């Protein structure tokens, strides 16, 4: 892609590192910063002040921040504070970011004109597919028995659940799903998944995948599980598993948020790149 803009990729995990290299491979002028511990191979790595001085457009990470105080930058050798000074340096640029909800509610940050690439449906669908693939790999690695014949439960049935169910069925697992919405339960039935309301979860399962960002796996449900039931949390914090009840019952919980960045960062980076290109064309 030919671009008159010089891009800066600032912070983020390995997705953003690969994003910088994918842009460079496309011939896009690009620099990167706050990735000192794992810098990109093709894009030039510079300091944060240098990036803010040179770049016309800046791509911030997914999520932009986890704590509301610093930029999400696990590859950086230090912290990048989300000061009003940073916002003011971004205000005159084209900015692209993902999941900005925890950014400081200040006038300076409100003045940053940005587009949310994570709001693109193609990206969220692709991200769900990568999450589902990673969840299957995690279940195979962490559970001592095979997926073939395993009793699996998916709680919540949005994009991730819809992508995860066929993958589990392909391994020969017996899959049930629980959701509040009738249309979600109908979608389960069309995929060959046993549809349940949450009050109908009465049996134990080998593996439970939670995708709902709400407290759905409550103590009464967890009490029905087996000592070796594996609980995989795919939803963002605080998730949907009653941690106090799970700990009391000694049930194993594996936290797996942000799986695309952990299991398929290059593919996840390509999804972000394509979303940014679409936003530029618009």
The predicted-structure confidence for 111-170, as pLDDT tens digits, reads as follows: 999 999 999 999 999 999 999 999 999 999 999 999 999 999 999 999 999 999 999 999
Tell me the percentage of the chain whose pLDDT exceeds 70.
Answer: 99
Q: List the beta strands (DSSP E) in 200-256.
A: 207-210, 230-233, 252-255
Residue 3's pLDDT is 64
> Right CATH number for 7-119 from 3.50.50.60, 3.40.50.920, 3.40.50.720, 3.40.50.360?
3.40.50.720
Distance from CA of residue 66 to its chain's centroid?
12
Peptide bond into 63 cis (omega under 30): yes
Question: What whole-number distance in Å separates Cα of residue 197 and Cα of residue 73?
Answer: 40
Q: Please state the rounded mean pLDDT for residues 204-212.
A: 97
> Right CATH number for 123-261 from 3.40.140.10, 3.40.50.720, 3.30.450.20, 3.30.565.10?
3.40.50.720
Question: What whole-number distance in Å separates Cα of residue 64 and Cα of residue 66?
Answer: 7
The predicted-structure confidence for 66-80, as pLDDT tens digits, reads as follows: 999 999 999 998 999
pTM comes to 0.89
Gyration radius (Cα) of the chain, Å: 21
The predicted-structure confidence for 82-123, as pLDDT tens digits, reads as follows: 999 999 999 989 999 999 999 999 999 999 999 999 999 999
Is the per-residue pLDDT at 237 higher than 90? no
CB-count burial class (<10 Å; 0-12, 13-18, 19+) for 137: middle
Is the per-residue pLDDT at 232 higher than 80? yes
Tokens 């692209």 identify what position? 96
Residue 64's pLDDT is 96
The predicted-structure confidence for 27-72, as pLDDT tens digits, reads as follows: 999 999 999 999 999 999 999 999 999 999 999 999 999 999 999 9
End-to-end Cα, the chain, rounded Å: 15
Residue 282's pLDDT is 84
Domain(s) of CATH 3.40.50.720: residues in the chain: 7-119, 123-261
Question: What whole-number distance in Å separates Cα of residue 260 and Cα of residue 74?
Answer: 15
Residue 1's pLDDT is 58
């Amino acid at each position: 892609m030919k671009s008159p803009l010089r891009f800066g990729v600032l912070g983020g995990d390995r997705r953003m590192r690969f994003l910088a290299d994918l842009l460079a491979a496309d011939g896009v002028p690009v620099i990167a910063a706050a990735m000192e511990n794992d810098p990109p191979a093709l894009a030039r790595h510079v300091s944060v002040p240098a990036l803010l001085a040179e770049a016309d457009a800046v791509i911030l990470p997914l999520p932009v921040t986890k704590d509301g105080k610093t930029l999400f930058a696990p590859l950086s050798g230090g912290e990048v504070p989300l000061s009003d000074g940073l916002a003011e340096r971004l205000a005159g640029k084209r900015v692209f970011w993902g999941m900005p909800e925890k950014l400081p509610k200040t006038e300076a940050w409100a003045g940053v004109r940005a587009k949310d690439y994570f709001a693109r449906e193609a990206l969220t669908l692709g991200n769900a597919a990568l999450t589902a693939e990673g969840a299957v790999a995690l279940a195979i690695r962490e559970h001592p028995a095979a997926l073939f014949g395993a009793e699996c439960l998916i709680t919540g049935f949005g994009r991730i659940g819809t992508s995860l169910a066929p993958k589990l069925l392909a391994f020969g697992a017996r899959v049930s799903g629980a959701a509040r919405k009738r249309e979600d339960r109908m979608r389960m039935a069309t995929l060959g998944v046993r549809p349940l309301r949450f009050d109908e979860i009465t049996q134990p399962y080998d593996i439970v995948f939670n995708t709902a960002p709400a407290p759905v796996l409550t103590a009464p449900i967890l009490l029905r599980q087996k000592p070796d039931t594996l609980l995989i949390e795919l939803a963002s914090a605080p998730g949907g598993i009653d941690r106090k009840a799970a700990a009391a019952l000694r049930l194993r919980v594996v936290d797996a948020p942000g799986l695309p960045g952990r299991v398929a960062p290059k593919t996840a980076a390509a999804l972000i790149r394509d979303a940014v290109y679409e936003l530029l064309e618009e």
